[in-house]
Amino acid sequence: MPDHRPEPPSAEDALIDWLRREAGALGQGIGDDLATLEVSGALALKVDQQIAGVHYPPDLDPALVAARLLAVNLSDLAAGGAEPIGAMLALSAPADYDHRRFFRGLLRACRRFGVALLGGDLARARTPSASLTLLGRRPPRAHWLRRSGGRADDALWLGGPVGRSALGRELVRRGGRLRGGRLSLPAAVADEPGLERVGRAALRAHLQPKPQLELGRWLGRRRRAAAIDVSDGLALDLARLCRASGTGARIESEVLRWTAPERRLAEWLGLDPLALALGGGEDYVLLFALPRGVKAPHPALRLGEMTGSTQLQIVDEDGRARALEALGWDHLHA
């Protein structure tokens, strides 16, 4: 009598079946050809990617890569004043890639931020590459944030300190890693008295960015605001904010000053702290403008003001102003 037992699932089908079970209620379209949602109100879309060898070292923990992929996307939703709904993932990786560890990291991050995993696509490739498309919505009684909402004489604010992520990126380049919640610093840094604590903080700033969704929602409820997230470098993203708003800017270098241990670590690594703060990028804090007299919530830092010219200036600790070069990352050039 012929054996009519069903064929075992392919490796891809087995992974998708496992992912559907792992995701539970969080996975609303996993395994189908498309995801369906019934939503109302104004919606936002955002896509970003992380490529091994470009955005992170190829040996970085897949769970960390996944969580970071979601965080950098969420940062752009924050800059628009949106709150997340769901995500679609396209993941390409070698056959022996630890897909399950990647998805566990992604699902853990999705649960933390209330993001449904709606589905996506899997493919085999020589180099791991992940692209995430996020769907968000405008909160009730709020408006979208735009880069063009600034005006001359507005106060400029930063959602937090900048440059630490670039410091952490250099430590990653030298071998620093985070896996399973455990940080490992390059041996030379770990052995240097007084540098271990700030080195660990810099690694976390780079590897575990924290999207400022609550700050974005707060800004979206203001009468007027302009915002951008600092992903490519403070100076470059400030230039973009001002160009969209038709203004210039004058910022204070003192606001960007690091602690003595942080400066010591940067100098020990042969890096300029101010250059990292202005052009290091990947900080994922919000840079925003508010009408003068409106105070931003803690821990935002008052950076300077927008001006009626189109010039960008930075004022040093002695009160001298100089032109601010648009330092930062250009993704289309080396």
Question: Residue 41 and residue 201: Cα distance in Å, rounded?
Answer: 39
Give the dihedral sign, CA 292/298/302/303.
negative
Question: Residue 246 and residue 240: Cα distance in Å, rounded?
Answer: 10
Q: Where are the beta strands (DSSP E) in the chain?
A: 43-51, 83-93, 116-124, 129-137, 155-158, 177-179, 182-184, 226-229, 248-252, 286-290, 301-307, 312-315, 321-323
Q: What is the pTM of this model?
A: 0.91
How many residues are present in the chain?
A: 334
Question: Residue 65 and residue 108: Cα distance in Å, rounded?
Answer: 12
pLDDT at 298: 92
Name the one residue in this structure whose structure tokens are 């230039």. 239
- Write out the two tokens for 33: 């050809």
Kindly report the backbone phi and psi dihedral angles of residue 68, in degrees, each rounded to the nearest multiple of 5, phi listed first. -70, -35
pLDDT at 193: 82
- Write out the two tokens for 296: 């931003």
Residue 225 and residue 289 in contact, taking contact as beta carbons nearer than 8 Å = yes
Peptide bond into 128 cis (omega under 30): no
Residue 89 and residue 130 in contact, taking contact as beta carbons nearer than 8 Å = yes
pLDDT at 31: 75
pLDDT at 7: 60
Cα 57 from chain centre: 17
Q: What share of the chain is helix, strand, coil (3-state, %, to 5)?
A: 35, 25, 40
pLDDT at 142: 96
Domains, in order of start, for the chain: 13-24+40-137 (3.30.1330.10), 147-323 (3.90.650.10)
pLDDT at 65: 96
Question: Residue 297 and residue 219: Cα distance in Å, rounded?
Answer: 10
pLDDT at 121: 92
Question: Residue 303 and residue 323: Cα distance in Å, rounded?
Answer: 16
pLDDT at 332: 62
pLDDT at 333: 64
Query: Which residues are CB-contacts of 167 (< 8 A; sequence separation ≥ 6)?
Result: 202, 205, 206, 262, 265, 266, 269, 271, 276, 280
pLDDT at 37: 80
Instruction: State the Cα torsion 173-333-53-120 to the nearest 10°.
Output: 130
Regions of the chain where pLDDT drops below 70 = 1-8, 331-334
- Write out the two tokens for 101: 């560890």
